[in-house]
Amino acid sequence: MLASYHHTWLGRHAMKPLGCETPLSWRCATIRINEEMAAAASWAAKLKLHNQKHPPAPKTEEERRKEDERLFEEEYTSLRGEAEKKYEHIPRFYCKPPRDDQVLQQKLREDARAVFLQRRGSELMDNEELTKLWSILEEKHTPPDLGTDEQMISYTAFLNIKDQVSDKCKPFFTAEVFTKLLRDDPYGRVSVSQLFSYIMRKVWLQQTRIGLSLFDIQGLGYLKESDLENYILELIPTLPQLNCLEESFYSFYVCTAVRKFFFFLDPLRTGKIKIQDILACGFLDDLLEVSPGY
């Protein structure tokens, strides 16, 4: 590189007319370039000598094994003709729902969603586990009482209960949940009833979401009017307060309930509402709180 610079500098200045540079400046520049080239050559020689005297440390057995695996993978990939993935093309991350004429794909999608929702439902606490949890909370409440019937529980007892409950209930016994329920107790405790109500509410929301998702035919997270009608229609037999309702009036009850949902949750009249919006509104509270198990 220095030799190239030398020739370039000499060639550029050789084109100038005579008299533009004095012979002394030419000689000084030439001497300076020669000194720089000699220094670079000396530095390269010293570096080479240093490398010879201080060879790199031998690789360990683990490093040699990793190097062999890397070389084997590169050779194997090249033999298979698979180029290294450098994300030149964005991978496909969205698949359209199957068309109406794709019966097999639709059936596969429905069965896969049903298995997924069933697995999620099995991860939730049932009534027996909730009853056992309430008994443990009452037993482990922390004194002193503040002159009320409200039972309180400290953070230490809160953590001890986590070791006694089932695995399905353990996610609710975290520091985050405890601080959410912490109020003005002078001893830094939370209410047992509020803790249990919080867990019940979470389980209820998850159960309801799974129940609504079963009627989401396309699995896109929203329900059409007919989907919500089928959900409420199957829900009626589980509502004790509607036992006296004749079956001939089911359609009127379903229509009234569905219209209320769509009037408030579908202001743009798109014909569908999100499952998240259904859970966030308070309409389901009145509809499901009379159902056993909620």
Q: Which residues pair with 153 in a beta bridge?
A: 190
What would the pLDDT profile of 175-224 be if each residue is shown by its tens digit? Answer: 999 999 998 888 889 999 999 999 999 998 999 999 999 998 888 899 99
- Backbone dihedral angles phi then psi of residue 222, each to the nearest 5 degrees: -140, 160
Q: Rounded to whole angstroms, how far apart are CA atoms 236 and 256?
A: 13
Q: Rounded to whole angstroms, how far apart are CA atoms 163 and 178?
A: 16
The confidence score (pLDDT) of residue 42 equals 80
What would the pLDDT profile of 53-105 be if each residue is shown by its tens digit? Answer: 777 777 788 888 888 888 888 877 776 665 555 566 777 777 788 888 888 98
Query: Which residues of the chain does CATH 1.10.238.220 include?
Result: 216-294
The single-letter DSSP state of residue 165 is: S
Domain at 216-294, CATH class = mainly alpha
Q: Rounded to whole angstroms, how far apart are CA atoms 253 and 245?
A: 9
The confidence score (pLDDT) of residue 85 equals 58
Three-state DSSP at 258 gives helix
Smallest Cα–Cα separation from 288: which of 207, 186, 190, 175? 207
Average pLDDT over residues 103-114: 88
- Neighbouring residues of 127: CB distance < 8 A, sequence distance ≥ 6: 293
Judge whether residue 131 has pLDDT over 70.
yes
Assign 110 a pLDDT band (cuts: 50, 70, 90).
confident
Contact between 143 and 187 (Cβ < 8 Å):
no
Q: Which CATH architecture has domain 125-203?
A: Orthogonal Bundle (1.10)
The confidence score (pLDDT) of residue 271 equals 92
Q: What sign for the dihedral angle of Cα 206, 208, 209, 213?
A: positive
More confident residue, 278 or 242: 278
Rounded to two decimals, what is the model's pTM?
0.62
Q: Rounded to whole angstroms, how far apart are CA atoms 229 and 258?
A: 6
Smallest Cα–Cα separation from 142: which of 152, 150, 155? 152
* Cis before 55? omega within 30: no
Query: For the ranges 19-28, 169-178, 243-252, which has the lowest average pLDDT?
Result: 19-28
Average pLDDT over residues 245-261: 89
The confidence score (pLDDT) of residue 269 equals 92
The confidence score (pLDDT) of residue 10 equals 47
Helix, strand and coil percent figures for the chain, each rounded to 5: 65, 5, 35
Smallest Cα–Cα separation from 238: which of 177, 179, 176, 293? 293
